[in-house]
């Protein structure tokens, strides 16, 4: 059995998802329930999650999934204008619905500087970087801080954060994170020729790097960039 506030919050989330397709923010939930602080919203969300009514999508902001509706329908809906229901609540068309806000943020691992001279694996779990979900596609991603100017003609500057899709496969001409001899990671254009691997910079001041095919391991390919202006 839910408390009145828990029931009101669940219904508010359901209605907002149905009407706008976007989970309400914590500020909106605080105002709708006339709470004094967002900490009260956090406690209500946690209680609903523990009881199996909602689920927070991992590593995402403002993304809630309603798993089931409250059996108790006696409380008044916070949004009585919603239609198509006997108790004033617009019900989702499916029993489970997850919605991601347009400004949703995902946290991905930040492994370190791309030219740090150590394998990517040695930097696993160092820290996390919040990234707009719109910059990423499907798959697993991580971030690296760019060091140096070897890719400036591709618009990749020193201090940028390279957003990388984790993969061991890449086509010629793609910008990849390449692990050289298991020791040094670099961000370069990938080319294959005559059984060799050529890593091309995007700066006329630098020469291509050529290695045997067994000396280079693709660790991912560039998916996007983040840049600070300060």
65-90 pLDDT, tens per residue?
788 876 644 333 344 333 333 443 33
**Which tokens go with 179?**
């692990």
pLDDT of residue 7: 87
Active-site residue, 188 included: yes
All structural domains of the chain, each given as residue ranges with its CATH number in brackets, are: 4-98 (1.10.10.10), 105-226 (2.10.109.10)
Of the two residues 183 and 5, the one the predictor is more confident about is 5
**Which tokens go with 46?**
């946690």
Active-site residue, 150 included: yes
Average pLDDT over residues 56-64: 63
Give the model confidence (pLDDT) of 216-226 as tens digits: 999 999 999 98
Number of neighbours of residue 44 by Cβ within 10 angstroms? 23
d(CA 51, CA 58): 18
- Sheet containing 54-56: which strands, arranged edge to edge? 54-56, 64-66, 97-98
- Answer whether residue 190 shows pLDDT above 80: yes
**Which tokens go with 22?**
């976007």
Average pLDDT over residues 162-168: 91
Give the residue among 184, 162, 179 at the shortest CA–CA distance from 219.
179
pLDDT of residue 126: 59
Of the two residues 204 and 22, the one the predictor is more confident about is 204
Q: Which helix (H) or strand (E) holds 10?
A: helix 4-20
- Name the CA dihedral angle for 100, 28, 37, 105, rounded to a multiple of 10 degrees: 20
Average pLDDT over residues 137-157: 87
pLDDT of residue 108: 83
Which is catalytic among the residues 30, 150, 165, 221? Answer: 150
Average pLDDT over residues 178-203: 90
pLDDT of residue 221: 93
pLDDT of residue 140: 86
Which is catalytic among the residues 23, 30, 165, 188? Answer: 188
Q: What is the pTM of this model?
A: 0.54
- Answer whether residue 192 shows pLDDT above 90: yes
């Amino acid at each position: 059995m839910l408390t009145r506030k828990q029931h009101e919050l669940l219904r508010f989330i359901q209605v907002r998802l149905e009407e706008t397709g976007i989970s309400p923010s914590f500020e909106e939930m605080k105002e709708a329930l006339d709470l004094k602080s967002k900490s009260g919203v956090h406690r209500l969300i946690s209680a609903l999650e523990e009881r199996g009514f909602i689920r927070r999508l991992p590593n995402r902001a403002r993304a809630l999934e309603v798993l089931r509706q409250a059996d108790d329908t006696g409380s008044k809906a916070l949004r009585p204008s919603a239609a198509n229901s006997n108790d004033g609540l617009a019900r989702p068309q499916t029993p489970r619905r997850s919605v991601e806000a347009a400004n949703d943020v995902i946290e991905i691992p930040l492994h370190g500087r791309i030219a740090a001279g150590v394998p990517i694996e040695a930097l696993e779990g160092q820290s996390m970087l919040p990234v707009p979900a719109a910059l990423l596609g499907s798959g697993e991603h991580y971030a690296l801080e760019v060091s140096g100017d070897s890719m400036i003609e591709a618009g990749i500057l020193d201090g940028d954060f390279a957003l990388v899709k984790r993969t061991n496969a890449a086509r010629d001409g793609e910008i990849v994170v390449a692990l050289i001899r298991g020791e040094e990671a670099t961000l370069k254009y990938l080319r294959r020729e005559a059984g060799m691997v050529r890593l091309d910079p995007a700066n006329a001041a630098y020469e291509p790097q050529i290695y045997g095919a067994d000396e280079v391991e693709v660790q991912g390919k560039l998916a996007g960039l983040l840049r600070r202006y300060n």
